[in-house]
Structure 1
Amino acid sequence: MAPHSHSSAILLLLLFFYFSVSFAAPPSNEIAGGVRIWPLPVSVTHGGHHRLYVAKDFHLITQGSNFSDASRILEDGFSRLLDLVRVAHVVDANLSRFASSSLLHGIHIVVSSPSDELQYGVDESYRLSVPGPAPGKPAYAYLQARTVYGALHGLQTFSQLCSFNFESRVIEVRMVPWNIIDQPRFSYRGLLIDTSRHYQPLAVIKKVIDSMAYAKLNVLHWHIVDTQSFPLEMPSFPNLWFGAYSKQERYTIADATEIVRYAQRRGVSVLAEVDVPGHALSWGVGYPALWPSKDCQQPLDVSNEFTFQVIDGILSDFSKIFKYRFVHLGGDEVNTTCWTVTPHIKNWLRKKGMKESDAYKYFVLRAQKIALSHGYELVNWEETFNDFGSELSRKTVVHNWLGTGVAQKVVAAGLRCIVSNQDSWYLDHIDTSWEKFYANEPLQNIKNPRQQKLVIGGEVCMWGEVVDASNIEQTIWPRAAAAAERLWTQYDNLAKDPRQVFARLAHFRCLLNQRGIDAAPVSGLGRSDPWGPGSCFVQ
């Protein structure tokens, strides 16, 4: 151990006292009552001192009018559940010392819909009950859901009711009986990852997806390419991935397909982004004709038909992999200087009677038409709305990022909106606290119920400049979990003061750690180190 001065030891004791008093003590009735579930459900009731012990042969029983689980999504989700509740402990298989009435033998799941299609707006509701001990009657948990994806959320909640008892060495469910009714507040609950600024290995992306499912986030916004690199294989234009950092930092079509499959089986959709016309310098490494000139390389050449052929090819390839209803077309931060200083583009603008602002609109709207032709609805960053919102396709979702107040204007114009305002929900802003993530309200100042429905949800953004495989998890968590509860939990159940949920969020952060997710302490800012020796539950 490194030596510490007497004053350092006193400082650590003071810090421990401060955090223990300010945060660790149960600050609300729901914490005192033992509800540690994150995100908080619509309705929760539970018992007092009774508990059930998870039986050695704890098993799954499925039922539904037409539900067969042919794709084994539910069966696989149940298998993952068993791993989650054990959290790598060696569980004592000998339960003969417990009364049979205190054993929980399995979970009975009823799914109404035969379809396992995962798409925007899928029903994610569920009802979960765990009985109390009943002599002479074997105990089973009961989970009812409209779809298999609601059932997966119910399993995640059930996993948080389970804990390892270090005295008896078994898994138990305390404070039975439990009755939980739950459904999400918003249909779109996203997390963006950026694999252009730093390549993220497939195993890392899969861990991010796993952790999203734990927090009930349901859309992975994959910002695949950008100025710095183009790592994804595109069969229609195979030279595009020459823009990758290296041959080892690429994704094949099979890789992308596997990510989509892996996510879908956990209830997570993948929203793919191809950001045009800016943020696209890497495209020209394989196809220099896409650059305005060798010396002025972005935005993409608006005057060249080849540019739109490439976009069409990319979106055609996307449509075979990414089956989510939406595709993200970017459209942000477009500096049109190259268009005005490159002779052949300057001549093209003059012949078309366009200013550079007109060319920007022309490019975005033409890209939208191409995406629509491939069956997609559209997402664009807010600059497109700010500059020519009335001319965007009515199938556009405007993605807010620059600040507050934009969502109000978008929904007033009759368009849908996703909220990601950078002052509150950008994870790369390391100095933004979890309290600010929790307090950010997507419906701020939107009072009209019809307009409120046009805010389809929100998204936290993990831009890649300051993260790679070594630190992405602790930069995402636990702050993304604070936003996840804002997006899942019904407004009236949200804490008005974020400090009221510190203990429960700290508990969830520790749960992530136990499950192998490198979530940072709650008590600091983003990606903070622990402030000193102490329990996970107070840091």
Structure 2
Amino acid sequence: MHVQKLIFLVIICIFIDCSNCFRDDVVKDLYPYPRLIQYSDEYQYGPDCVLVEHNMNALVFNNDSIWSKKEMNSIRLFYRNLYKDFRKLDSDSFSAIPTFQLLKIELIKFPVMSKQDYDDSFNDTVPFGANEYYDLRIFKDAVTIYSHSKFGVYQALKTMASLSLVYQDTFCVKYIPFRIQDQPRFKYRGLLLDTGRSYFSIDSIKEIIRGLSLLRYNVLHWHLVDDQSFSMEMLDEFLQDLHLKGAYHLGYIHNQIPITKGKFYTQKEIKSVVRYAEERGIRVIPEIDLPGHARSWDVAYKLGAQCPMFMKSTRYNSVNLEYTYSIPLDISRNYTVNVIQGVLKEIVNLFTDPLIHLGGDEVDIRCWAEDKEMQKRMEELGYTSPTTYIDYFKKILKDIKHTILVNKTVIQWEDILSPMDITKDSHTIYQLWKGDDSLKQLKEKKSRFIYSFGNYLDPSYQSCQTFEKCYNQSKLLELEKNFPNQFIGVEACAWEMIEQDNVQSLESNGLDKVERSFNDTVWYKLIAISEKLWTQPMHQLPSNISLYLKRAQIQTLKLSHIISIGNKTISRVTL
């Protein structure tokens, strides 16, 4: 070990700091681009590479007492899964590989995280920025990874794999010797998947998770419940009608595109998704949207406010029929509150992540205003106007946080904010999707937030419609500057997408056609967004635009061999 360090110190003296330079042969396989690259001035690319064992025995944990047994097992499993993905890539073009000895990878836990970073990552239980840092050093006779935690090791191994070819059951690492130091620009880098409207198979969800991991996202926000479906199984017999009657109860989505009625995710399937994601460094954050978007609850147990005139007059159109119906819960009834509590108790047992999303968006008080029986009950509770009902719901939610969600941090959409509320709140994380209207209020509240406006992946006004627009980072620079301690990251939102390829829907005017296929519509945008979320601004969009595109296109081709990303994706990775 001491000899290796001495060799490294000698070699590093003749290394070139490539943090602001772009060598075509070195960086074309790196996407997103890392924070710091150093390589030898004597480096010459040829057919040489170092051969690294692919099996779990290849990993050597320096000072086992620092690495916990759980961490070591997690890293070994991650390495095995990574090899399975990368072995699918074609290596026929690479020949004349020398017969060097097979190398192992030494893993050194160093340096220790600060207390703030440790606390932010919930005691290093989830990937959240600083604990994803790594320092990867590869020479002809040694491979070493320095990291704060297992999450940084995951990122280092992905970098090594992206600079490798799979050859005779080994990773053949090119471009040696080199050193790469890296960590993400943003702590939170997410994708929202909407199965509250359209069912995705478990295999498809797991494939999405693999793609997110390779693109260095760290969050899957799973939107499980909406007006159109309550898509998860409830085990409590008094709650089971939620999924038995509420799961995809219409049997269609936009433009009457048919979907399987009554399908839902069993709790066993959900646990398998959570475990699968954790093994790949992806957090799964569930969303139960409350108190709006609750028609599926109403189909099951008549829990919604009763407003038939509102729905028919404002929510119905001849193209989408009842698909666009949206009603809030009747929060004046104890029965409604009991059902909410029962659902959240099961959610807490299913999802291990310390964050939970409780919605809060688009609660239309016009429906509450039509329900006269609900108004009577709310008056008895001291709330005389539908405009104040949301305050009562916040009181309900506060009690739930102190009992059922005591170990969870809640995320909510910005709509839940009361206009004049500037009470300090460091415990709730808000998700912004409408624009900048809530920023001033959040600054006063000192609340953390996730930004999604401009990063929607469907055809709405909040979306980025081209690869270049999705890559644009001007707004993020502004938020970083003005909210350095509150702005934690970005989430791209894939609303109302379909699992199958080549699917289009008509909009409500009966004329405009809109793509709804996840693979055709989402992946090329996720590829663009991934680099602006991971890579420091100074390294983005170099003057050599063709090289930038080449890196993105190489990454897209790699993904196309590992997961299904749609036939249109490759052609859309362009400026």
What is the TM-score with the length of structure 1 in the denominator? 0.81
Q: Does 1:265 align with 2:279?
A: yes
Query: Helix, strand or coil for the counterpart of 1:192?
Result: strand
SS at match of 1:185: coil
Kept in 2: contact 1:92–1:169 (CA 8 A): no
Specify which of 456, 459, 465 is matched with residue 432 of structure 1: 465
The equivalent of 1:108 in structure 2 is 106
Indicate which of 413, 425, 435 corresponds to 1:381: 413
70 and 84 in structure 1: CA distance in 2 versus 1, 3 angstrom threshold = same
Offset at residue 475 of structure 1 (A): 2.3
Alignment of 1:43-442 (within 5 A): 43-46=36-39, 47-53=43-49, 55=51, 57-59=53-55, 60-63=58-61, 64-70=64-70, 72-87=73-88, 89=90, 99-101=98-100, 105-111=103-109, 117-118=125-126, 120=128, 123-132=131-140, 139-163=141-165, 172-236=172-236, 237-241=239-243, 242-245=245-248, 249-292=263-306, 298-351=327-380, 352-373=382-403, 374-375=405-406, 376-385=408-417, 387=419, 389-390=421-422, 393-404=425-436, 406-407=438-439, 409-421=441-453, 423-429=454-460, 432-441=465-474
Give the % identical residues.
Answer: 26
Q: Say if 2:425 and 2:445, in contact at 8 Å, map to a contact too.
A: no
Letter in 2 for 1:206: K
Q: Distance in 2 between matches of 1:88 and 1:446?
A: 38
Partner of 1:10: none
Is this contact kept in 2: 1:104–1:140, CA < 8 A? Answer: no
Indicate if the aligned counterparts of 1:277 and 1:299 stay in contact, CA closer than 8 A: yes
Distance 1:219 1:368, change over 3 A: farther
Q: Secondary structure at the match of 2:342?
A: helix
- Out of 486, 503, 516, the position equivalent to 2:532 is 486
CA distances 1:61-108 after superposition (whole Å, capped 9, x unpaired): 221433254472211221123223322558899x9x75444x553322
SS of residue in 1 equivalent to 2:226: coil
Secondary structure in structure 2 of the residue aligned to 1:76 = helix
Deviation, structure 1 residue 408: 5.3
Q: CA deviation at 1:495?
A: 2.4
Shift of 1:308: 1.4
Deviation at 1:506, TM superposition (A): 1.0
Contact kept, 8 Å, 1:291 with 1:298, in 2: the verdict is yes
Cα-Cα RMSD: 3.3
Task: Give the secondary-structure state (helix, strand or coil) at the position aligned to 2:375.
Answer: helix
Are residues 513 and 48 of structure 1, via their aligned partners in 2, closer, same or farther at CA, if it must alter by over 3 Å? same
Q: Is the 8 A contact 2:456 2:494 kept in 1?
A: no
Query: Structure 1 regions of 5+ residues with no counterpart?
Result: 1-27, 133-138, 526-536
Query: 1:122–1:492: structure 2 CA closer, same or farther, 3 Å change rule?
Result: closer
Alpha carbons 2:136, 2:144 under 8 Å: kept: yes
Q: Matched residues in 1 for 2:84 and 2:204: separation?
A: 19
Query: 1: distance between equivalents of 2:569 and 2:303?
Result: 49
Q: 2:564 aligns with which of 503, 517, 521?
A: 517
- Tell me the CA shift for residue 109 of structure 1: 2.5
Which SS does the other structure have where 1:478 is aligned? Answer: helix
Q: 1:48 to 1:511 in 2, by over 3 A?
A: same
Deviation at 1:476, TM superposition (A): 2.1
How far apart are residue 57 of structure 1 and its match? 4.9
Cα drift, residue 306 of structure 1: 1.4
> Equivalents in 2 of 1:80, 1:91: separation in Å?
22
Maintained 8 Å contact 2:52/2:102: no
Distance 1:49 1:128, change over 3 A: same
User: Cα distance 1:497–1:123, how it changes in 2: closer, same or farther (>3 A)?
Assistant: same
Cα distance, 1:54 vs. partner? 5.3
Separation of aligned partners in 2, 1:463 and 1:253: 23
Superimposed CA distance per residue, residues 137-182 of structure 1 (whole angstroms, 9 cap, x where no aligned partner): xx232222111111111111111101368xx999643321121001
How far off its partner does 1:492 sit?
2.4
Q: How many angstroms apart in 2 are the aligned matches of 1:404 and 1:316?
A: 34
Contact (CA 8 Å) 2:135, 2:179: kept in 1 or not? yes
| Cα displacement (A) at 1:50 | 4.5
The 10-residue stretch of structure 1 (271-280 or 305-314) with the greater mean CA deviation from structure 2 = 305-314
Shift of 1:251: 0.7
| Per-residue deviation, residues 503-535 of structure 1 (Å, max 9, x unmatched) | 21111111101213315556765xxxxxxxxxx
Distance 1:234 1:506 in 2: 43
Partner residue of 1:462?
494
Shift of 1:197: 1.2
1:495 corresponds to 2:498: no
Matched to 1:73, the amino acid is S
Q: How many residues align?
A: 487
Q: Against the structure 1 CA distance between its residues 396 and 49, is the aligned structure 2 distance closer, same or farther, given a 3 Å change threshold?
A: same
Deviations 1:224-261 (A, max 9, x none): 01000111012342221120126762111111111111
Could you say if the C-alpha distance between residues 231 and 392 of structure 1 is closer, same or farther in structure 2, counting changes exceeding 3 Å?
farther
Corresponding residue number in structure 2 for 1:9: none
The letter of the residue matching 2:36 is S
Mean Cα deviation higher: 233-242 or 36-45: 233-242
Structure 2: how far apart are the matches of 1:520 and 1:386? 45
Post-superposition shift, 1:360? 1.9
Q: Which residue of 1 aligns with 2:30?
A: 37
- Per the alignment, do residues 120 and 424 of structure 1 end up closer, same or farther by CA in structure 2, a change over 3 Å counting? closer
Spell out, residue by residue over 1:329-371, the C-alpha distance to the aligned partner (whole angstroms, 9 max, x if none): 1111111122111121122344424311110232144224413
Change (3 A) 1:512 1:98: closer
1:196: Cα distance to partner? Answer: 1.6
Question: What's 2:513 paired with?
Answer: none
Task: Indicate if the aligned counterparts of 1:90 and 1:169 stay in contact, CA closer than 8 A.
Answer: no
Instruction: Note the C-alpha offset of 1:405.
Output: 5.6
In the alignment, is the contact (CA less than 8 A) between 1:301 and 1:345 conserved in 2?
A: yes
Alpha-carbon shift at residue 426 of structure 1 (Å): 3.1
- Give the aligned residue type for 2:263: E
Check the 8 A contact 2:431/2:450 in 1, yes or no. Answer: yes
Q: 1:57 to 1:124 in 2, by over 3 A?
A: closer
Distance 1:425 1:497 in 2: 28
Over 3 Å counting, the alpha-carbon distance change for 1:154 and 1:418 in structure 2 is same
Output one character per residue of 1:426-477: Cα deviation in whole Å (capped at 9) or x when no partner: 345587111111113454434657x31211111000112x422443233221
Question: 1: CA distance between counterparts of 2:97 and 2:218?
Answer: 39
Aligned to 2:6: none
Return the offset for 1:288: 1.4
Q: CA deviation at 1:404?
A: 3.8
Q: Is the 8 A contact 2:165 2:173 kept in 1?
A: yes
Matched-pair contact (CA < 8 Å) for 2:198–2:498: yes
Is the contact between residue 51 and residue 176 of structure 1 (CA under 8 Å) also seen in structure 2? no
The one-letter code matched in structure 1 to 2:346 is D
2:422 is paired with a residue whose SS is helix
